[in-house]
């Protein structure tokens, strides 16, 4: 019995010692167990819960609200300034002028404001307002390459006439997307197929009708003021990096040749010369690049007064309205769009969207309506029309005007120039802090060019801005 007791005691001792050893190992996290020397873990974060429904807040205004307490300038004094401008011999024999209060729309002074005049490039305001009120401002224009028949690939124009020949630069509008980037994408896709040689076609069927307006003065093409309108081009079809260089007569085919060169650089041989062809519906895409967003494109053509890009954008408005993407379809679409926004287009007729063609007319009051709409804080989609216009003495087509005027920086306006036509339409913050809208349209100016009427108009606008004549 004594021997059995010793065995039991010894076994119990072994178990106790083993348990103690295991507990020691558990404390040191050497074996599984509940004991540990580590600090206790932090409480877990609460399980996330979906937020409850809340009342939506009103969207912020795109532009600061105007101060209704700022004094309105006296109409009699403004009318005196208008009459003096109209009588200025530098303005010629036919001038329309309107000065209105931006906040209320009240016409403070005018001369022939309801008479249609040749707008020149102030007509671009119609296209700008139409585009940003009917199309998505952040939309981009996509240039793609798709598979064609056999060994063909098809370069498809999506409306971007500002492609860079090589790599694109996201900081730019003209050159935002690049054919070099598109060629590299295409080459990689072809190499995965084991394809090293292709034939290239270009599809420029997005737009219809003539590429050159029959009412454009041929000199405007020769002098580089405009290019044939195409859904595809490199740097607006410019042959040289200048403001008004010669332009390629076939922008799409010129872009196709540039793309072929970029494909060769990327390691894909292009057999023969590029030719035209239509991409098949549902064709497999090999690559794509996208332009700057629409609002930046609108800003670009207002600031630079680029005729070609304005025509492109009018065609995009036409496509959105299910109208032909042509000169006729574009002008019809933009006028209809601004009318739908409440702008009075009585007497308006456009031969093109840029104001370059002979035969276009708009009333000064129509331009006033466009400007009031674009500067209305309740119209956030049109903000880039208001901010896209050149700033007096600082930017765009007004950078070299008002440089010695107190109105420098206080006036934003769209310029317009044709032979014997000078116009300016914009906004001015006067000396009392009142926002005014003004339009000047002179379409029978004297011989001698733009210097005289521009100087007269700039002097008038400077006096209106500095009036403080409440």
Distance CA 348, CA 225 (A): 24
Task: Give the right CATH number for 142-292 from 3.40.190.10, 3.90.1150.10, 3.50.80.20, 3.20.20.70.
Answer: 3.50.80.20
Strands (E), 192-262: 197-203, 232-234
Query: Which residues are catalytic, by number?
Result: 121, 124, 305
Quote the pTM value: 0.85
5-14, 155-164, 267-276: which has the minimum mean pLDDT?
Answer: 5-14
Assign 75 a pLDDT band (cuts: 50, 70, 90): confident
Give pLDDT, residue 74: 84
Distance CA(424)–CA(416), nearest Å, equals: 6
Find the mean pLDDT for residues 288-313: 98
Looking at residues 42-70, what average pLDDT do you find?
Answer: 55
What mean pLDDT do residues 151-166 have? Answer: 97
Closest CA to 464 of 99, 89, 71, 97: 99
Domain 75-136+297-465: which CATH class? alpha beta
- 184-208 average pLDDT score: 96
Domain ranges across the chain: 75-136+297-465, 142-292
First to last CA, the chain: 125
49-53, 248-252, 298-302, 382-386, range with the lowest pLDDT = 49-53
Burial class (CB in 10 A: 0-12, 13-18, 19+), 414: buried
- Chain segment 413-459, per-residue pLDDT in tens: 999 999 999 999 999 999 999 999 999 999 999 999 999 999 999 99
From start to end of 141-260, where are the E strands?
142-147, 152-156, 160-163, 197-203, 232-234
Burial (Cβ within 10 Å: 0-12, 13-18, ≥19) of residue 115? middle
Residue with tokens 């002098």: 223
Question: pLDDT of 227-238, one tens digit each?
Answer: 999 999 999 999
Quick one: average pLDDT of 201-217?
Answer: 97
Q: What's the sign of the alpha-carbon dihedral 349, 351, 352, 357?
A: negative
Helix runs in 75-200, H state only: 75-87, 124-134, 179-193
């Amino acid at each position: 019995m004594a021997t059995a007791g010793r065995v039991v005691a010894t076994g119990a001792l072994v178990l106790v010692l083993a348990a103690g050893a295991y507990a020691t190992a558990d404390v040191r996290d050497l074996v599984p167990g509940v004991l540990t020397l580590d600090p206790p873990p932090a409480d877990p974060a609460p399980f996330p819960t979906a937020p409850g429904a809340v009342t939506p807040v009103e969207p912020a205004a795109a532009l600061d609200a105007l101060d209704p307490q700022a004094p309105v300038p006296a109409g009699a004094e403004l009318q005196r300034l208008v009459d003096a401008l109209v009588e200025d011999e530098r303005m010629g024999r036919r001038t329309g002028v309107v000065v209105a209060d931006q906040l209320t729309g009240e016409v403070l002074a005018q001369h022939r404001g309801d008479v249609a005049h040749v707008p020149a490039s102030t007509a671009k305001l119609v296209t700008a307002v139409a585009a940003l009120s009917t199309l998505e401002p952040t939309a981009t224009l996509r240039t793609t390459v798709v598979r064609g028949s056999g060994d063909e690939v098809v370069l498809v124009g999506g409306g971007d006439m500002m492609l860079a020949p090589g790599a694109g630069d996201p900081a730019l509008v003209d050159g935002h997307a690049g054919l070099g980037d598109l060629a590299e994408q295409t080459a990689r896709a072809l190499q995965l197929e084991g394809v090293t040689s292709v034939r290239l076609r270009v599809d420029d069927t997005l737009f219809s009708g003539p590429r050159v307006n029959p009412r454009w003065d041929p000199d405007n093409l020769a002098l580089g003021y405009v290019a044939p309108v195409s859904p595809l081009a490199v740097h607006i079809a410019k042959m040289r990096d200048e403001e008004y260089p010669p332009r390629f007569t076939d922008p799409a085919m010129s872009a196709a040749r540039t793309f072929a060169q970029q494909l060769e650089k990327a390691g894909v041989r292009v057999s023969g010369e590029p030719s035209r062809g239509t991409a098949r519906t549902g064709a497999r895409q090999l690559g794509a690049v996208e332009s700057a967003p629409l609002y930046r494109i609108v800003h670009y053509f207002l600031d630079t007064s680029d005729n070609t890009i304005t025509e492109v954008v009018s065609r995009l408005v036409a496509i959105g309205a299910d109208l032909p993407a042509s000169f006729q379809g574009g002008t019809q679409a933009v006028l209809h769009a601004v009318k739908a926004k409440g702008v009075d287009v009585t007497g308006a007729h456009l031969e093109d969207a840029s104001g370059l063609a002979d035969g276009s007319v708009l009333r000064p009051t129509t331009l006033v309506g466009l400007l009031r709409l674009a500067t209305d804080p309740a119209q956030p989609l049109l903000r880039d029309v208001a901010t896209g216009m050149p700033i007096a003495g600082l930017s765009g087509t007004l950078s070299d005007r008002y440089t010695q005027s107190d109105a420098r920086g206080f006036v934003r306006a769209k310029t317009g120039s044709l032979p014997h036509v000078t116009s300016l339409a914009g906004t001015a913050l006067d000396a009392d802090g009142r926002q005014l809208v003004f339009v000047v349209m002179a379409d029978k100016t004297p011989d001698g060019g733009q210097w005289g009427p521009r100087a007269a108009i700039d002097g008038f606008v400077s006096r209106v801005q500095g009036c403080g004549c409440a």
